[in-house]
């Protein structure tokens, strides 16, 4: 099988950073065409610089593009309380040396996808979905042309930034609504599965013991993150975003169910909530594979094996 072409759209964020490392360490399975960035965990000026820091630390030359600094309608809400003031606290990574690549994320997504055969590019968003929604609106043919969207966001159950909503969908609920109405095949990694992939002290030790610069950066980030990232009732640091990449590499590590998913864009209390019709009680057609089970040990075996390559 040739590697799958992906565009990783993210808001680093320690867990986004681990997703970037894992993707760049897996060239047999994944061809990372570009990394695009969005305001989310921290403002865009930091998420884009953080993405460049991580790509350079991985020894890669993948272009990093800037996208939307704020959601489509709402003001940006960030999460320094989880990720630290830099968004990458604990990494110890130096400032980026290379500049960002020219071209807005939404335009780059359209150009890269439409410039390749239908069904050959997968989008992997791990932050607010603003860039993805903008690209889908700018180019109506994009939805048909995409192979799929593999995203981290939403929740079957309780939220982590409000009682009802997960952070990525809460920050830009209107973008999430556009994505889930687009007809693109979606694989959704909600909190219910990412909270089963926890950074325990033993797993942290396994990563740190690799001793490489990238592994030390990941260990430092995850040490910070496991002390600050236990939102939404998580018993340790949930490694949200890399679940998307791990599924693309080893789908057998996960399982889920095709469901109809709708996004709350009106109720102030429920803004950004993902209504996942897990029991098929509604009549909306399934628009997402909602993943709810993970082999956490298998995930960390994969992560350690791939980090050792960098």
Q: CA–CA separation, 247 vs 257, rounded Å?
A: 14
Q: CA–CA separation, 61 vs 304, rounded Å?
A: 22
- 236 touching ligand RIB, by CB under 6 A: no
Q: Are 166 and 190 in contact (CB under 8 A)?
A: yes
In the complex, minimum distance from the CB of residue 303 to ligand RIB, in angstroms, rounded to a whole number: 16
In the complex, minimum distance from the CB of residue 253 to ligand RIB, in angstroms, rounded to a whole number: 18
- C-beta of 47 vs 122, nearer to Ca ion: 47
The three-state DSSP-derived secondary structure of 265-296 is: CCCCCCCCCEEECCCCCCCCCCCEEEEEEECH
Residue of the chain from 9, 16, 48, 277 that contacts ligand RIB (CB under 6 A): 16
The three-state DSSP-derived secondary structure of 67-95 is: CCCCCCCCCCCCCHHHHCCCCCCCCCCCC
Q: Radius of gyration of the chain from Cα atoms?
A: 17
* 177 binding partner (options ligand RIB, Ca ion, none; Cβ < 5 to 8 Å by kind): none
Q: Are 243 and 299 in contact (CB under 8 A)?
A: yes
In the complex, minimum distance from the CB of residue 138 to ligand RIB, in angstroms, rounded to a whole number: 23
What is the binding site for Ca ion (CB under 5 A)? 11, 13, 16, 126-127, 241
∠ CA 233-273-259, nearest 5°, is 100
DSSP structure class, residue 235: S
Residues of this chain, 141-180, that bind ligand RIB according to CB under 6 A: 152, 160, 166-168
* 160 binding partner (options ligand RIB, Ca ion, none; Cβ < 5 to 8 Å by kind): ligand RIB
- 15 touching ligand RIB, by CB under 6 A: yes
Residue of the chain from 241, 247, 277, 300 that contacts ligand RIB (CB under 6 A): 241
In the complex, minimum distance from the CB of residue 180 to Ca ion, in angstroms, rounded to a whole number: 18
Active site residues: 240
Q: CA–CA separation, 276 vs 292, rounded Å?
A: 11
- 26 touching ligand RIB, by CB under 6 A: no
Q: CA–CA separation, 192 vs 154, rounded Å?
A: 9
Residues of this chain, 78-117, that bind ligand RIB according to CB under 6 A: none
Q: What token pair was written down for 23?
A: 């993707």
- C-beta of 223 vs 241, nearer to Ca ion: 241
Residue of the chain from 7, 13, 188, 246 that contacts ligand RIB (CB under 6 A): 13
Residue of the chain from 40, 148, 242, 256 that contacts ligand RIB (CB under 6 A): 40
- C-beta of 242 vs 256, nearer to ligand RIB: 242
Residue of the chain from 47, 50, 126, 274 that contacts ligand RIB (CB under 6 A): 126
Tell me phi and psi for residue 300, to 5 degrees. Answer: -70, -30
Interface ranges with ligand RIB (CB under 6 A): 11, 13, 15-16, 40-41, 126-127, 152, 160, 166-168, 240-241
């Amino acid at each position: 099988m040739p590697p799958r072409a992906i565009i990783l759209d993210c808001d680093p964020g320690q867990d986004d950073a681990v997703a970037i490392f894992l993707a760049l360490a897996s060239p047999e399975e994944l061809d990372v065409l570009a990394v695009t960035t969005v305001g989310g965990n921290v403002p865009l000026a930091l998420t884009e610089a953080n993405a460049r820091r991580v790509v350079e630390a991985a020894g890669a030359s993948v272009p990093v593009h800037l996208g939307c600094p704020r959601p489509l309608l709402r003001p940006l809400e960030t999460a320094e309380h989880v990720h630290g003031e830099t968004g990458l606290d604990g990494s110890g990574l130096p400032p980026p040396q290379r500049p960002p690549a020219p071209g807005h994320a939404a335009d780059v997504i359209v150009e890269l996808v439409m410039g390749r055969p239908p069904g050959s590019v997968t989008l992997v968003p791990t932050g607010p979905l603003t860039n993805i929604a903008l690209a889908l609106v700018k180019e109506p043919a994009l939805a048909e042309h995409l192979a799929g969207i593999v995203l981290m966001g939403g929740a079957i159950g309780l939220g982590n930034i409000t009682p009802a909503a997960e952070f990525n969908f809460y920050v830009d609920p209107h973008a999430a609504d556009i994505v889930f109405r687009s007809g693109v095949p979606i694989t959704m990694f909600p909190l219910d599965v990412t909270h089963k992939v926890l950074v325990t002290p033993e797993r942290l030790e396994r990563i740190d013991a690799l001793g490489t610069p990238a592994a030390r950066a990941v260990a430092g980030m995850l040490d910070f993150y496991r002390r600050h990232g236990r939102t939404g009732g998580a018993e340790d640091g949930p490694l949200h975003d890399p679940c998307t990449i791990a599924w693309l590499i080893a789908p057998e590590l996960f399982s889920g169910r095709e469901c109809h998913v709708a996004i709350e864009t009106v109720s102030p209390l429920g803004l950004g909530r993902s209504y996942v019709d897990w029991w098929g009680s509604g009549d909306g057609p399934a628009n997402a594979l909602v993943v709810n089970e993970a082999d956490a040990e298998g995930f960390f075996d994969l992560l350690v094996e791939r980090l050792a390559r960098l």
